Amino acid sequence: MTSNREMMKLTKEERKTISKMFWRNQYLMFCTSYTKQQGITYGWLMAPFLQKVYGKDTDAFYKAMGRHLDFFNTAPAMNGFISALNLSMEEENKILNDKGEDFDTTSISALKTSLMGPLAGIGDAIYLSVLRVIATGVALGLSQQGNILGPILFLLIVNVPNMLIRWYTTVIGYKAGGQFISEAMKSGTFAAITRGSAVLGLIMTGAMTAQFVTFKTTYTAELANTTFVLQNVFDSIMPGLLPLSITMLCFAYLKKYNRPVRALVFMFLISIILTLLKIAG
């Protein structure tokens, strides 16, 4: 079997191809639509590579373009793997056709369609639930202290892994071919990565909620020659109960209605009212 190190080695021509695909992948979200999502841009992404494989203005080229202009939607940072794998399969199709052998071209579209969902889940878990949350947690702490490293570290934590993942997934997709993805799906690798990333993201979200969401009631009252402090009651039930409750209410509202601006305005108005009533502030 070929070792991982040997698989990652690139010839000069392969490096040139992968580098061009890597940069064209940055534009995946440039043109989206309700009917095809990223499909138009995906076709644009593949066009120069398909021309190189099949020749410009050939019937085989237009058939291949038709395969890659269908509906497509995945996490942009993970698309390098899919597009590189598709190109590898198109090259294999051309080689077999030149030998007079048949290649099931429907497998190219089928593989692309089957991959976009799992990779979207992995990409969203890594980028939205892990990298952004970690970067925001680090940046907020430093930025609150007026440290310039806050925004700098945010950009580095988000973008350095992002670019590395984009590059190496493209390399793996191009070099591995169809066998890699078949083995990964059977072994449950995708499911394990998605679940692990989601769990880590939830842990980080919980930590950020406890650290950065603050809300305490200031309501007090004199009862039977003692001072009743409402906040102490909440703290005795569970420290951080009010910030957690606010977070969960916002989560439930956004999940049902997905109207963040209304949620912000509502919280702003409630804050003013509770401050005027001397319940919080």
At 90 the pLDDT is: 87
d(CA 30, CA 7): 32
d(CA 250, CA 253): 5
At 128 the pLDDT is: 78
User: Based on the domain organization, do 76 and 152 belong to the same domain?
Assistant: yes
d(CA 228, CA 223): 6
At 136 the pLDDT is: 87
At 272 the pLDDT is: 92
At 256 the pLDDT is: 87
At 121 the pLDDT is: 81
User: Based on the domain organization, do 21 and 114 belong to the same domain?
Assistant: yes
Instruction: State both tokens at 258.
Output: 């997905």
User: Based on the domain organization, do 105 and 233 belong to the same domain?
Assistant: no
Amino acid identity of residue 263, one-letter, is: A
Which single residue is written with the structure tokens 């534009």?
A: 27
Low-confidence ranges of the chain (pLDDT < 70): 1-8, 177-186, 188-195, 197-198, 200-201, 204
At 35 the pLDDT is: 75
The count of residues in the chain is: 281
Domain that holds residue 139: 11-207
At 54 the pLDDT is: 92
DSSP 246: H
- Say if 5 falls within a structural domain: no
At 1 the pLDDT is: 44
User: Based on the domain organization, do 156 and 272 belong to the same domain?
Assistant: no
User: Based on the domain organization, do 194 and 223 belong to the same domain?
Assistant: no
* pTM flag (> 0.85): no
Whether 91 contacts 13, CB under 8 Å: no
User: Based on the domain organization, do 27 and 126 belong to the same domain?
Assistant: yes
d(CA 109, CA 139): 41
- 14 CB-near residues (< 8 Å, 6+ apart): 174, 175
At 110 the pLDDT is: 78
Q: Report how many domains make up the chain.
A: 2
User: Based on the domain organization, do 26 and 76 belong to the same domain?
Assistant: yes
Count CA within 13 A, CB hemisphere, residue 143.
12
